[in-house]
Structure formats: C-alpha cells, structure tokens
Amino acid sequence: MKPDLSLAVLIDGDNIPSQYVKELLEEVAKYGNPTIKRIYGDWTKPSLIKWKKVLLENAITPIQQYGYTTGKNATDSAMIIDAMDILYSGKVTGFCLVSSDSDFTRLAIRLREAGMIVYGIGEKKTPNPFIVSCDRFIYIEILRKEPEELDNKFDNKPKEHTKVDKITPTVVKLISSTISDLEDEDGWAFLGEVGTLLQKKQPNFDSRNYGFQKLTPLINSINKFEIEQRNNTGRNRNLIYVRIKN
C-alpha cells in the first residue's frame, strides 16, 4: 500500500452497479488519495438514474457522453481520452480503473508503460486480459458489506453471504511456488514479501476472495504450510514467516 499516491479514479458507469460506490472508495483510500474522481456514462439513460444520489454523497464528477452510434461504446472512448489527458497533466501518480470491460486492457498497459501504478476494480466476470494488465485487480463483490442481520430467534432460514472461491490445488501450488521463490536456507519466507509476490504473479489474488480478511488466516487454513511469529526488536509488531511443511 502506498497512501502517498495521488490517484485518478475513473469509473465506467455502464459496467459497475451503483450500490458498490461507498465500499469502492473506501478500498481505493487504502492505496492512495483519490484526487480525481470521475464517472462516465450517458446520463439521459434511465438505467443510470440510481447514480445521482451516490455521486453527490461521494463528490464524484459525472461526465456526460452521448452514444453517437448504435452498437458503439462512446463511454469507453471518453474515459480513455480523459485518462491520457490526466496522464500527461502530471497531476497523479496512479490510476484506478473501475470497469468489467476488457476494452480498457490496452489503456492499463499504456499507463503502466508510462510509470503509473494501475489498480483495477470490477466484477468477477471481468475478462482475464484486463485483470493481468493491472498491478492489482480487486473484485468488487468482495467489497460489499453484509447488512446487519435482524435479531430474530425464530428465523431459522440460512443467511445468504457473498459467494467465496474455493481454495483449489492451483491456488495451493501458486502459494507454494511463491514461498519457494523467497525461502531462506531453512525454508522460511517473510509473509509480507510472499503477499507482494503473489499479487505480482496474479494481480487478482486476494485473501478476501476465499473468505479471509488477511493472508495469514488463509495460509493457516491450509495444512500444507506452517506459520511462525518472530519478535521484531524495537517494534510492537511481530514478523510472520511461513514455510512449506516437510
């Protein structure tokens, strides 16, 4: 996380549900200061009317873009042009592209080529080319907070929660290979470095996808690994190391 980053948050209004905005901006704040917040769409469309209230509450600037030709996505073009204008203005040091559309793949690549950090946020249906073109990609579904449950002892219906991904052998192999890449002569690897390398290898890797808020409990739930806490002299926090079990 780099909270000193100045971020341009550009939202594709045609591809992101309005109910996620509060959680989305809270997530963005973990990575930097959103100095520019814009959302693109044809605001004459009834389908975008739900955005009006959340835009005012979160100080997001709506950018009107008419669909000049049937079947063409003018919103994407406007967002891409704005992104390049912002890039050359030198006002930001990173971008957050909020969309589930693969049309922004080339934009993300171009921004990274210019030295920008690029975060992507979109739904789980987002095509892989856009995901891997970002430094980090966050699924918007994991940001949605569960509503407070009513205290009703007679209500025995199961509660619906956000669907989480299964920890597959592929995921275990990814974690194992990453630990192996960083391990010392005794097989131990610093967990912070493991997390950083995991996201470099797979930008959409996030412990929250599997129902865990942090990487430590995720790895602890897999019996193939062992975790060790070490005293960090001079600091209050312990250092966490992980290795593959023999």
Contacts of 15 (CB under 8 A, 6+ apart): 99, 100, 101, 122, 123
Whole-prediction pTM: 0.83
Position 230 confidence tier, pLDDT thresholds 50, 70, 90: confident
Q: What is the pLDDT of residues 158-194, one digit of tens each?
A: 344 456 788 999 999 999 999 999 999 999 999 999 9
Question: Residue 212: which residues within 8 A CB-CB, separation 6 or more?
Answer: 218, 221
- Residue ranges and CATH numbers for the domains of the chain are 6-143 (3.40.50.1010), 169-244 (3.30.420.610)
SS3 174: helix
